[in-house]
Each structure stands twice: as structure tokens, then as C-alpha cells.
Amino acid sequence: MQRYIRPLVLIVIAVLLSFQLTPARAATIDYLRVKCSMAYAFGSVEEPAPYVRVTVTLASDLSNQLASIVVPVMRNGHYAFFAGYPRQPEGTLLIISVGEWDGTNYLRPATLTSRICGRNQTVPPTPTLPPTLPPTLPPTPPPADITLTGRVYDALGGPSSPVGETIVSVTVCAPRAFSTVADQQGYYSLFLPASYLSGCPTVTLSAQAPSSFYQEYYASVAVQDLALNPNVDIPLLPGATPVPTSEFPPTPPPTPTPVP
């Protein structure tokens, strides 16, 4: 229930303060300490006033005024008060009003504030967070040996149409090339030592079929991708089929003979 009362009280306070309240002319509260059975504070007034009236009201019941005192304002414009009231349960929200008073009426709108009694009312300083440092990425581990495997096949026929005895090569950035020959079923296996892969972001994979019917295959492959998946199939595209030409040139049509 308490959590619903405080927002309502703050709304009431905002409405009260909206009626021609001039903060520069209102009484100021320089220090305030609220306990569950007493409150004491000191402050000052901006305009000359003989007294300051202080009230302590229960926030859950604005008609329940726990304390009301009038204290004189000193010549330097400062005031101090001590107000006692019946002890309230810890956690009770109280409203404290401080207004300049002429003995009968308020000279200006009162200054209103609220406190929860029995709790630490000192606002802790905002912690200073250390500067955020950029994350330190772990060093990239050196590449390990890679055994490249796969199958060479006809790109149009698919894996069921292997192209055997194809020369498969990998050129590293040393420069150095490693080669192997696929078996009759198109399967190949090629060992790539780590010492030659170190410092190479990519390598060139190539394949040349024993027959000129197929085009040569070239592809640039990242070493990191090969380390994650060393199985690479190679589809070979057939080359351009030559267009047959006739053995003899075509006979030109006869030239018509003009009629005399």
C-alpha cells in the first residue's frame, strides 16, 4: 500500500507548488534529518520574515498533522527547528512543510519535501566506473597439418560420374605446389604440411583431367575454411565442343546467262 501512496503524495505536492511558486523567494531547507519520532533542520529565507512555520504530516493521511511549530527567523535570515511527534512505524513516509509566517498567515508558498523515517537518508555518491578497455582477442593459433580429401566428378553428371586419374594440386604462398592423382573413382587425398600453410590466408586449388574434354579447375580457398572442413569435391566442366566443318567448300550457285 505504501508504494501507491507516495506517487499520489508527490502529485499533490506538484499541484500545490504549481500555484505561483517562486523558488528564489521560498524558504530553503539546507539540512534536514527526519526520524520516526522527531525532525530537525536548519535553513534560510530569501525575503524578510519574522517566523517560519514547520509542519510534519502523515503522507498516508494528509489530514493527520503530527507536529506544527513556529520558530523565529534570526537577523541573518537563518532559522533552525526541532519538532517532536508520536513515534511512527519504521518506513513511514512523512511530509515536511517549511513556510515563512507572519504569525497568522503564510507570506509565500511553503517549501514541501518528504522523507521516509528510520532509513538512511544520505544519498550515496555515484560510483565511478573504471574506463572500459577494448577486449583483448586471443592470438590466432598457427595452422595445423591438413589432409585434403574429396572427389572429382563430371559437373553435368554429378558425383555418380567420377573423373579418375585427375591431377589435383594445391599452390601455397611459399610459392610451393603439392599434387596428387585421383583414383579411378575420382577420390583423392592430399597432405598439406602446416609449415607451408603458416602465413597463407588462402591457397589455390586446381585440377586437370587426363582428357582435354574437361576444362581446368581453379579455386581460391581460405586456409581457415580448409581447417574446419578439409573435404572438398571438385566438379569439372566439359570444354567447348568443336563444330564439325564439311570436307569440301559449298558449290556456289550458277551465274545466270543473260538472254540476247
**This prediction's pTM:** 0.41
Q: Please spell the DSSP secondary structure of 62-115, one letter per residue.
A: TT-EEEEEEEEPPTTSEEEEEEE-----TT-EEEEEEEEE-SSSBSSPPEEEEE
Give the integer Cα–Cα distance in Å for 241 and 236.
15
pLDDT on residue 190: 93
Domains of the chain: 2-116 (2.60.40.10), 146-236 (2.60.40.1120)
pLDDT on residue 11: 54
Give the integer Cα–Cα distance in Å for 258 and 238.
54
pLDDT on residue 180: 93
Other C-beta atoms closer than 10 Å to the C-beta of 44 total: 15
Please, which residues have CB within 8 angstroms of residue 146's CB and are 6 or more apart in sequence?
191, 192, 194, 197, 223, 226, 227, 230
Strand partners, 217: 207
pLDDT on residue 65: 92
pLDDT on residue 18: 47
Split the chain (260 residues) into runs of 10 and give each run's mean pLDDT: 55 51 65 88 86 92 91 88 89 91 88 82 50 65 84 91 93 86 94 86 91 89 89 86 46 60
